[in-house]
């Protein structure tokens, strides 16, 4: 019956296509014998869906009605709803973090759901598995109800379901594998990485054999590809070996093969038997450099499930290669050579006197036109996702176009019958679409791809987090409960001194003011010409200072809603402004860009260079008393006595930090690095303590923002993967 429905679907599709067409070197094999490690773990409970308050809990004074003006638009915010699930709330300690106790600070909780690393649909199409850095979320594929969260010790890189619905296998960073019972969702076994702990794969692929008797993992490191196969009856090793990585590779579990491309051949390696392989010369019907180019963007090939052909993707073109016949049937080249680098695109306000940008983009990575290609399970059709923002659905055998939609994806998983697919958008939203015409069925929006900024309210009751999926999430700062969402992709956030307003600097340059008690917002127009990267309220809350990627910063009158002034800090060599701080009296404004360094700007218009840095600074923070300024970047700096010149600048001997904050008493400076938190003395610049965020030598996520709660009891560290790590005294 399923095959009949599929045949009918493709019959309709091919009629549609027809109508459109009328208008249009051997590797060294190394054996490994590593014993299995079984680790008993406690049973995971299914996580119930949390309930959320319809409004912010803290009581505030009322906000005056805004005075209408010609270009104003006041838009109601989305009602706060269930858009995320907290992982671990934490008990409120109430103990203030200070210089004397920073060595006791620990990670207490993780809030948020995290960016999607892998997206897999179960063989029966009932469960959508979403792998993140904190575990795997299992959703009902029809209504997106959360079935369970399977927490893991390390970020999840790969997910595999057994065909007979017995197990779910998870591949984690560090090479560990965890296997769960499919029905009970309880852990069965923890499999230790064959290459030893501390080796973190670049990629990982898991698969069960058709009869479910074996589980295979393929782990790719910069130099090697490690294959490990286990018997599922007792979870003992069935095979283990390595091959050289060469150019690119692919895994084809349907025919039990690993494909490894070198400069002149394709090695077809058996996943079960290390000594069984075949070397196939690369076809000469395309130029030799074509095969070399496939590794430039690390583009993944798409092999047919029966192994007869491979769709090769260089990032710029696609060829259909019939392996056994050693010929290329067709080639798709109608794609732009490359997309412009974001580094080389900026508003005219960033141009210098010569009409050029003042920064060098020669080392910026090139964005390929093609993001991915994916074959349907029956090998009939292929989806091509393009980085310019669209996707094509073509017939695999001849490349004929069926339909095109204005949406691109970074990952795709098809239903077993190819009737629909789930696609992961760049902003983290998961779309479900039909394959007949690409029509959108519904979306799952619980895993934003990136966190931008954090802000505590002045009374410390709520924490606002800005994400790239179009929403600002509001958390209860005492227990991590998600109170709701506000509309807008906020690159930067800050509360007014009285807590009545939340200012958001959006990625499109809009300056948005959320009136929290009224449940609405208004935009001050016209805004900036590029993303608003930072905001600071004046001490009386009547003015707002904003910085932008358009190489300017602006001062705004919030009462009458107009721009007081717009300043380009360095007209001779403009730079994108990353971050800014302002003393409470407004006399001095400290700014930093992504190329230039650290500057101070006073009310007379004088600009003074405090420190030059080719990469600039990513974050600035003022101590609560306004006497110290911390700057995070390649050269971490601490500046004392801000009202006295010359400035006393201390460079801290630390690794590169991405975010900076002070303890509430101002005695210690907290730096957020890729590995966790470091605490430094404000008085003498000595290191006080460090608190790891990840396992030793594990590749950590870059911090995006860090804030200390007003009562000084917790520090919130947001990482780019969309998670918020809460630090405090246990």
Q: How confident is the model at residue 143 (pLDDT cuts 50, 70, 90)?
A: very high
User: Residue 9: in which H helix or E strand, if any?
Assistant: helix 2-22
Looking at residue 699, what is its pLDDT? 63
Where does the pLDDT of residue 96 fall: very low under 50, low under 70, confident under 90, or very high at 90 and above? very high
Residue-wise pLDDT tens digits, 229-277: 999 999 999 888 989 888 888 889 889 999 998 888 889 999 988 889 9
Longest dimension (CA), the chain: 82
Residue 371 has pLDDT above 70, yes or no: yes
Residue 89 has pLDDT above 90, yes or no: no
What is the per-residue pLDDT for 548?
96
Average pLDDT for the chain: 82
Average pLDDT over residues 449-465: 96
With a cut of 90, say whether residue 32 has pLDDT above it: no
- The pair of three-digit structure tokens given for residue 200, joined into one six-digit string: 């973190």
Helix (H, G, I), strand (E, B) or coil at 204: strand
Q: Identify the top-confidence range among 12-21, 604-613, 701-710.
A: 701-710
Q: Which residue has the higher pLDDT, 257 or 201?
A: 257
**CA–CA separation, 263 vs 292, rounded Å?**
6
Residue 129: name the closest of 81, 180, 191, 83 by CA: 180
pLDDT one-digit tens code per residue, 675-699: 889 999 999 899 999 988 766 556 6
Name residue 372's beta-bridge partners: 385
Domains, the chain, in order of start with CATH, read 25-40+152-281 (2.130.10.10), 74-110+448-728 (2.130.10.10), 283-371 (no CATH)
Q: Are 418 and 351 spatial neighbours (Cβ–Cβ below 8 Å)?
A: no
Q: Is 653 helix (H, G, I), strand (E, B) or coil?
A: coil
pLDDT tens, residue by residue, 607-631: 888 887 777 889 999 999 999 999 9
d(CA 179, CA 525): 54
The pLDDT of 119-143, averaged and rounded, is: 95
**Other beta carbons within 10 Å of 648:** 12
Which pLDDT value is given to residue 295? 64
**Three-class SS state of 18:** helix
How far apart (Å, rounded) are the C-alpha atoms in residues 237 and 215? 10
pLDDT at 92: 58
Residue 351 has pLDDT above 70, yes or no: yes
Using the predicted structure, report yes or no on whether residue 337 has a pLDDT greater than 90.
no
Residue 486: phi and psi, rounded to 5, are -120, 150
Comparing CA positions, the residue from 169, 155, 80 lying closest to residue 122 is: 169
Question: What is the pTM assigned to this prediction?
Answer: 0.85
Q: What is the pLDDT of residue 48?
A: 28
- Does pLDDT of 49 surpass 50? no
Is residue 722 a contact partner of residue 449, using CB atoms and an 8 Å limit? yes
Contacts of 595 (CB under 8 A, 6+ apart): 358, 359, 575, 576, 614, 615, 616
Beta strand extents in 11-126 (DSSP E only)? 30-31, 74-76, 106-111, 118-121
């Amino acid at each position: 019956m399923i095959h009949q429905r599929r045949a009918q679907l493709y019959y309709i599709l091919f009629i549609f296509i027809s109508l459109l067409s009328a208008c249009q070197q051997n590797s060294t094999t190394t054996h490994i014998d590593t014993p299995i490690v079984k680790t008993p773990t406690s049973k995971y409970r299914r996580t119930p869906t949390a309930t959320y308050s319809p409004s912010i809990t803290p009581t505030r004074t009322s906000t005056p009605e805004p005075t209408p003006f010609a270009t104003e638009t006041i838009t109601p915010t989305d009602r706060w709803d269930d858009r995320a699930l907290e992982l671990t709330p934490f008990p409120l300690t109430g103990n203030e973090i200070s210089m004397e106790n920073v060595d006791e600070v620990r990670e207490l909780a993780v809030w948020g759901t995290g960016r999607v690393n892998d997206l897999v649909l179960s063989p029966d199409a009932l469960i959508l598995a979403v792998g993140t850095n904190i575990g795997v979320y299992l959703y009902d594929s029809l209504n997106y109800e959360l079935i369970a969260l399977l927490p893991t010790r390390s970020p999840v890189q790969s997910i595999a379901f057994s065909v007979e619905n017995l197990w779910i296998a998870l591949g984690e960073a560090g090479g560990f594998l965890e296997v769960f019972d499919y029905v009970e969702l309880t852990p069965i076994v923890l499999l230790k990485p064959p290459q030893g702990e501390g080796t973190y794969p670049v990629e990982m692929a898991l698969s069960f054999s058709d009869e479910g008797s074996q589980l295979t993992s393929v782990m790719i490191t910069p130099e090697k590809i490690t294959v490990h196969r286990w018997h599922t009856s007792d979870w003992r090793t069935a095979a283990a070996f390595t091959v050289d990585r060469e150019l690119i590779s692919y895994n084809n579990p349907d025919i039990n093969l690993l494909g490894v491309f070198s400069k002149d051949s394709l090695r077809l390696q058996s996943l079960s038997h290390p000594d069984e392989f075949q070397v196939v010369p690369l076809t000469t019907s395309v130029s030799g450099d074509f095969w070399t180019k496939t590794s430039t963007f690390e583009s993944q090939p798409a092999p047919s499930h029966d192994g007869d052909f491979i769709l090769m993707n260089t990032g710029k073109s696609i060829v259909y290669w019939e392996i056994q016949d050693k010929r290329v049937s067709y080639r798709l080249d109608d794609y732009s050579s490359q997309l412009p680098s974001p580094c080389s695109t900026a508003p005219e306000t960033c141009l210098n006197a010569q009409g050029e940008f003042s920064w060098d983009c020669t080392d910026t990575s090139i964005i390929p036109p093609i993001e991915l290609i994916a074959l349907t399970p029956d090998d009939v059709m292929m989806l091509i996702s393009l980085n310019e923002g669209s996707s094509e659905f073509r017939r695999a055998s001849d490349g004929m176009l069926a339909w095109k939609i204005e949406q691109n994806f970074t990952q795709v998983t098809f239903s077993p019958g190819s009737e629909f697919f789930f696609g992961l958008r760049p902003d983290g939203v998961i779309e479900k679409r039909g394959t007949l015409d690409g029509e959108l069925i519904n979306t799952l929006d619980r895993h934003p791809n990136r966190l931008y900024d954090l802000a505590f309210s002045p009374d410390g009751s709520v924490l606002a987090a800005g994400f790239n999926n179009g929403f600002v999430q509001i958390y209860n700062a005492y227990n991590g409960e998600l109170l709701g969402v506000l509309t807008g992709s906020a690159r930067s956030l800050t509360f007014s001194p009285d807590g009545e307003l939340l200012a958001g600097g959006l990625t499109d340059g809009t300056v948005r003011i959320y009136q929290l008690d009224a449940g609405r917002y208004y935009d001050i127009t016209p805004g900036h010409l590029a993303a608003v990267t930072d905001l600071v309220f004046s001490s009386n809350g009547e003015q707002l200072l904003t910085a932008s990627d358009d190489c300017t910063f602006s001062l705004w009158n919030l009462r009458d809603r107009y721009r007081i002034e717009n300043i380009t800090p360095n007209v001779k060599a403009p730079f994108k402004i990353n971050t800014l701080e302002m003393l409470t009296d407004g006399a001095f404004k400290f700014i930093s860009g992504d190329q230039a360094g650290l500057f101070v700007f006073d009310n007379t218009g004088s600009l003074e260079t405090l420190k030059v840095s080719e990469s600039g600074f990513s974050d600035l923070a003022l101590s609560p008393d306004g006497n110290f300024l911390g700057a995070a970047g390649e050269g971490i700096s601490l500046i004392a006595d801000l009202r006295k010149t010359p400035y006393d600048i201390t460079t801290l001997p630390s690794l590169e930090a991405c975010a900076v904050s002070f303890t509430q008493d101002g005695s210690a400076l907290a730096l957020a690095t890729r590995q966790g938190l470091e605490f430094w003395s404000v008085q003498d610049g000595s290191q006080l303590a460090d608190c790891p965020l990840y396992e030793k030598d594990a590749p950590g996520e870059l911090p995006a923002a860090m804030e200390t709660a007003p009562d000084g009891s917790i520090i919130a560290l947001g990482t780019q993967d969309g998670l918020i790590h809460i630090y405090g005294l246990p």
